[in-house]
């Protein structure tokens, strides 16, 4: 792995590092390697369960708890992060997802709607809340970069992804809609990365995940993108090398999204 200083002098906030498998965890490690400084944040409850202190020590980061659905928490996070880091922010990673219907095994055709709303708030609307807080506080430097994480179930049917498919479609739309205003008014870019299935706590919560990840692996000419690969891609989107990439949903999936079928998958059906 390269140790160039692509993010030297840049400051930011990383949401969603739960444990060493998390995409946000790998991203924090890579951003640190590339010279970026940041605040780590997660929901207070996840902090009690997780091992985020280890990551903070390793990456010289401060931890500020925030529930990403709570506007007061977000305002405090944005204010304190700027104080701590000594200025405005250059990058923000939103790496947050949770569906109560998925967690509790409730089928898509039998949703409990207060759970649906909770999952939507955490997984989709929180992206708007984070951006609105940053925008109103004028907390981002020009040519800053905001990234959210998504999955191809926003465009195609993956039945067991349940209501997360709808949450991801909403999240991707927010990236475009808010990205317009952030670009026009503050010269900040906003993109989502559509990542391969990845063995994390959130990923493994989806029914049939093990079979599914093998299927995606066989379908993708380059194989599944790992959490580490995703971290590298995020570093590139935080760097000045991608200054005019915005309003995009960027597939980071080993080629999966443009495949119809692969030889490896077809062979499973031959007699
Ligand atoms: P993860 O379980 O490690 O991370 C999810 C994070 O969301 C956790 O750190 C959790 O504490 C946080 N979170 C939940 N509720 C929150 C709240 N109210 N406030 C603040 N944070 C909250 O799993 P992973 O896979 O690293 O997930 C990161 C992102 O990547 C999510 O948006 C997920 O949907 C997305 N993604 C994951 C894929 C996978 O197969 N694992 C594939 C494509 C996208």
Q: What is the residue extent of each domain of the chain?
A: 11-270
Rg (CA), the chain: 18
Average pLDDT of span 102-106: 96
Neighbour tally for 48: CB within 10 Å: 10
**18, 27, 105 from 21: Cα distances, Å:** 8, 11, 23
Query: Hey, is 144 helix, strand or coil?
Result: strand
**ipTM > 0.85 (yes/no):** yes
**85, 136, 194, 242 from 182: Cα distances, Å:** 22, 10, 21, 16
pLDDT digits (tens, 9 = 90+) for 48-96: 777 899 999 999 999 999 999 999 999 999 999 999 999 999 999 999 9
* Interval between CA 96 and ligand 1 midpoint (Å): 4
Percent of the chain with pLDDT over 90: 90
Tokens of 93: 């990673």
Decide if 113 contacts 101 (C-beta within 8 A): no
Ligand 1 cavity residues, CB under 6 Å: 15-16, 18, 22-24, 42-43, 46, 67-69, 95-98, 122, 149-151, 195, 197-198, 200-203
The Cα 215–Cα 208 span in angstroms is 11
Q: Which CATH architecture has domain 11-270?
A: 3-Layer(aba) Sandwich (3.40)
Please, what is the average pLDDT of the chain?
96
Give the closest residue (by CA) to ligand 1 atom 3: 22
């Amino acid at each position: 792995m390269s140790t160039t200083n692509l993010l030297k002098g840049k400051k930011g906030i990383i949401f969603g590092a739960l444990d060493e498998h998390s995409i946000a965890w790998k991203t924090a490690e890579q951003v640190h390697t590339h010279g970026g400084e940041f605040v780590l944040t997660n929901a207070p409850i996840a902090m009690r369960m997780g091992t985020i202190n280890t990551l903070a020590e390793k990456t010289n980061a401060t931890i500020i708890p925030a529930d990403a659905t709570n506007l007061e928490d977000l305002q405090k996070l944005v204010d304190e992060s700027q104080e701590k880091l000594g200025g405005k922010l250059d990058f923000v990673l939103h790496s947050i997802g949770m569906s109560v219907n998925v967690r509790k095994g409730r089928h898509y055709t039998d949703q409990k709607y207060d759970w649906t709303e909770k999952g939507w708030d955490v997984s989709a609307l929180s992206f708007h809340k984070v951006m609105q807080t940053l925008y109103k506080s004028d907390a981002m430097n020009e040519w800053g970069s905001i990234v959210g994480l998504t999955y191809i179930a926003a465009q195609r049917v993956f039945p067991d992804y349940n209501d997360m498919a709808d949450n991801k479609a909403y999240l991707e739309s927010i990236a475009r809609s808010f990205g317009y205003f952030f670009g026009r008014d503050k010269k900040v870019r906003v993109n989502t990365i559509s990542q391969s299935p990845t063995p994390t706590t959130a990923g493994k919560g989806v029914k049939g995940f093990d079979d599914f990840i093998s299927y995606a692996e066989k379908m993708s000419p380059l194989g599944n993108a790992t959490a580490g690969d995703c971290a590298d891609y995020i570093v590139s989107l935080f760097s000045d090398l991608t200054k005019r990439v915005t309003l995009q949903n960027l597939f980071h999936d080993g080629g999966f999204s443009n495949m119809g079928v692969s030889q490896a998958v077809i062979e499973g059906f031959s007699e």
